Structure 1
């Protein structure tokens, strides 16, 4: 079996995030958790994923602090999976993926699920990246400051 490359010690936040989530099944589990799924069977029915794969992905998400296992809300002997604060912080990621998919993988007028504001029932405004002073930023407006081997930003003077 081929070992998966790990990025949990990378200096890149994107690499560490991808390492923590793992794969598409994990993101779809998180999506379904936002949609209200809480039990193993609900995730399995909604995703159509094999039980062994689902069990493994749930274990990774629990071990990574994205989901928590709690007693069933109905008092039964089952347990449920709930998003932790760390998991809830994935909400903008799920919205961004949804909006990207809506813009690139559906023909105009093609029906698809839609995320709406519960209060008004209207679609969400497109996510935007903003600077600290509120300006809208595009990729050309940003730069990644790499760290050197000492862990300081490149070009910074160590104290």
Structure 2
């Protein structure tokens, strides 16, 4: 099933990443996003994928990971966490999406130790999630910007933020607003939901059937040879 994040609106942030959300928001995709946030000890950079590794993404991403080389179940979530599962990685991506492109801004707004942050930013650039280039306002000082792969993390970050609003924090510290285009309604608070791109129905976990395509695995685990 092809799933897309529907909403009372799309994103309203810069570079495609927003923050915050209503405390009672029903983040239909929060389960996956919450899992991504829960495994915060991912590797600092991409892991080589072996002989089948294409070495890069034609659409601007970094080196690809062969999921069968990782411990446990071959899974794109586990592979993604190798790149962005570290505590500081998603916070750095959040700040770049807010329009804070300079290292000093990212360090100040994440609270990350500068040596750790420098390593994470370097890894995110190597992975094709961020790019480093001169800033229009400060040409002498290169800044960090989201690539298409980085912008594609926007929905996951928004769902994780809404999950945090609902289940973790005492009071949501930020809020998302939607600016509709070609719609009579004015600006309004953003509430998202996940809908199937094929049929338009809202997606619930109970309606999803998962199929393992990696050889030697099914949903219960490794398949034993009879």
Do these two structures clear the TM 0.5 threshold for a shared fold by scoring above it? yes
- Determine the structure 2 residue equivalent to 1:142: 208
**1:26-74, Cα deviation, whole Å (9 max, x unpaired):** 0011111111110000001111111100100000110000100001323
Q: Work out the number of aligned pairs and report it.
A: 145
Which of 34, 42, 52 aligns to 2:105? It is: 42
In the alignment, is the contact (CA less than 8 A) between 2:193 and 2:202 conserved in 1?
no
Structure 1, unmatched stretches of 5+, are 152-159
Which of 176, 187, 210 aligns to 1:115? It is: 176
**1:83-118, Cα deviation, whole Å (9 max, x unpaired):** 0111011110111111111111245xx352111124
Which of 40, 57, 60 aligns to 2:123? It is: 60
Cα distance in structure 1, aligned partners of 2:172 and 2:138? 39
- Determine the structure 1 residue equivalent to 2:66: 9
Cα distance in structure 2, aligned partners of 1:61 and 1:111? 28
Cα distance in structure 2, aligned partners of 1:41 and 1:52? 12
Cα distance in structure 2, aligned partners of 1:127 and 1:86? 21
Cα distance in structure 2, aligned partners of 1:76 and 1:95? 31
In the alignment, is the contact (CA less than 8 A) between 2:101 and 2:143 conserved in 1?
yes
Matches within 5 A, 1:72-87: 72-87=135-150
CA RMSD, aligned part only? 2.3
Say which SS state the counterpart of residue 144 (structure 2) adopts.
Answer: strand
Bigger CA drift: 112-121 or 8-17?
112-121
In the alignment, is the contact (CA less than 8 A) between 1:33 and 1:83 conserved in 2?
yes
Cα distance in structure 2, aligned partners of 1:135 and 1:34? 29
TM-score of the two chains, using structure 2 as the length reference: 0.58
Cα distance in structure 2, aligned partners of 1:106 and 1:150? 41
Which of 26, 34, 41 aligns to 2:89? It is: 26
In the alignment, is the contact (CA less than 8 A) between 1:129 and 1:136 conserved in 2?
yes
Structure richer in helix, relative to its length:
1
TM-score of the two chains, using structure 1 as the length reference: 0.80
In the alignment, is the contact (CA less than 8 A) between 1:20 and 1:64 conserved in 2?
yes
Q: CA deviation at 1:78?
A: 1.2
Say which SS state the counterpart of residue 37 (structure 1) adopts.
Answer: coil
